[in-house]
Amino acid sequence: MFGYLVRRIATSLAILFAVSFAVYAIFALLPFDPAALTCGKNCNNPAIIEANRIRLGYDIPFWQQYIVFLGGLFAGRNYGEGAAAINCPAPSLGYSFNEHECVTTLIRQALPVTASLAIGAMILWLIVGITLGVVAARFRGRSADTASTIFVLIGTSLPTFLTGLLLLVFVVIKWRIIPFPSGNYTSLFENPLEWAQILLLPWITLAFASAALYTRFVRNAVIETLSEDFIRTARAKGLSEKVILRKHTLRAALAPIATMAGLDFAALLGGSILTEKVFNLPGLGRLSLSAVVEYDLPIIVGATLLSAAIVIAMNLIVDILYAFIDPRVRVAA
């Protein structure tokens, strides 16, 4: 197991390295002049552009830029010299000339928002999805199953932005249950109540579609597991249906769902652009979106790299988790 872990971590790091190069290369080779972009839309002063080019390190060849970028990740980086120098401490992902801020700082501000959104939404959709899925499987063909099917249909066909807007229109504007989202974000540790109030509708919005998807998935997995030979063995032993469902069925049925949830969670941590936009949340999704609109390349590179790192890390975690759930994997590993 230990050797396996070391091997997996080493591969993960290698993949991350390759991804970082690819991401950096894609954005460095785009037909934009990042130095020209620093100067604003109607700027045509070549002197300022050239000065910025040198200051931000875009004057050296691409591969050298990449090495400097990597160096910045580990040692931090200075932009410019003397009193006007801007210092981005390690791990530096670059400097955004639009926001006039180190990318790492921007991400540090946005990540807790996105993480709060993702964790809350996932807990919500796992609870709803697994419960409804198990109930639907248990009462297959009866009214509870039909109701769950209707929920699945609605959930999977309503797009996130529509769910979000509907919630905004009714809960916030018509019924005035929750105040209008101000675009501010309160940390959980500052004011938990306000935190939950701000995030409640985004959680529901984000969880809705996934809960529907997971309901369907769990229902099918449970039904399939219930037809396994080892479930018949459990019945032949004289176990009650309750124990068969809890001990014998759920563990086998939910194993693939752990994988799915891990990867979905990783994707969410990269930022949920639509939900953050609809509810005006200052998360990674909104940061990336405005960076794309403004051609703010350092932010795009930083955010993409972070998403990749999260996906790779979650993959690793899911694989390790799987070995705990399914003993057959342990041997193969």
Residues that bind another protein (CB under 8 A): 141, 228-230, 232-240, 248, 251-252, 255, 325-328, 331
Task: Name the pairing type of β-strands 77-79 and 86-88.
Answer: antiparallel
User: Peptide bond before 202: cis, by omega within 30 degrees of 0?
Assistant: no
Closer CB to another protein, residue 201 or residue 253?
Answer: 253
Residue 309 to residue 270: CA distance in whole angstroms: 10
Q: How far is the CB of 125 from another protein (least distance, A)?
A: 25
DSSP string spanning 197-234?
Answer: HHHHHHHHHHHHHHHHHHHHHHHHHHHHHHTSHHHHHH
HSE toward the beta carbon, residue 290, CA cutoff 13 A: 14
Nearest distance in Å: CB 8, another protein: 22
CB of 131 to another protein, least distance (A): 22
Using CB atoms within 10 Å of the CB of residue 218, give its burial: 0 to 12 exposed, 13 to 18 middle, 19+ buried: buried
Q: How far is the CB of 249 from another protein (least distance, A)?
A: 10
Give the residue with the Cβ less far from another protein, 7 or 251: 251
Nearer to another protein, 108 or 232 (CB): 232
Q: Tokens 């939900």, residue?
A: 275
Minimum distance, C-beta of residue 248 to another protein, in the bound complex (Å): 6
Gap between the Cα atoms of 92 and 207, Å rounded: 33
Q: Which is nearer to another protein, 180 or 230 (CB)?
A: 230
- Closest distance to another protein from the beta carbon of 138 (Å): 13
User: What stretch of H or E contains 79?
Assistant: strand 77-79
Q: Token pair for residue 295?
A: 């051609």
For the chain, helix (H) and strand (E) counts, in that order, are 15, 4
Bridge pairing between strands 77-79 and 95-96:
unpaired
Nearer to another protein, 31 or 238 (CB): 238
Q: How far is the CB of 226 from another protein (least distance, A)?
A: 10
> Which lies closer to another protein via its Cβ, residue 289 or residue 333?
333
Nearer to another protein, 146 or 157 (CB): 146
Q: Is 262 exposed, middle or buried (0-12, 13-18, 19+ CB in 10 A)?
A: buried
Smallest distance from the beta carbon of 251 to another protein, in angstroms? 5
Closer to another protein at the Cβ: 64 or 233? 233
Burial class, 233, CB count within 10 angstroms (exposed 0-12 / middle 13-18 / buried 19+):
exposed
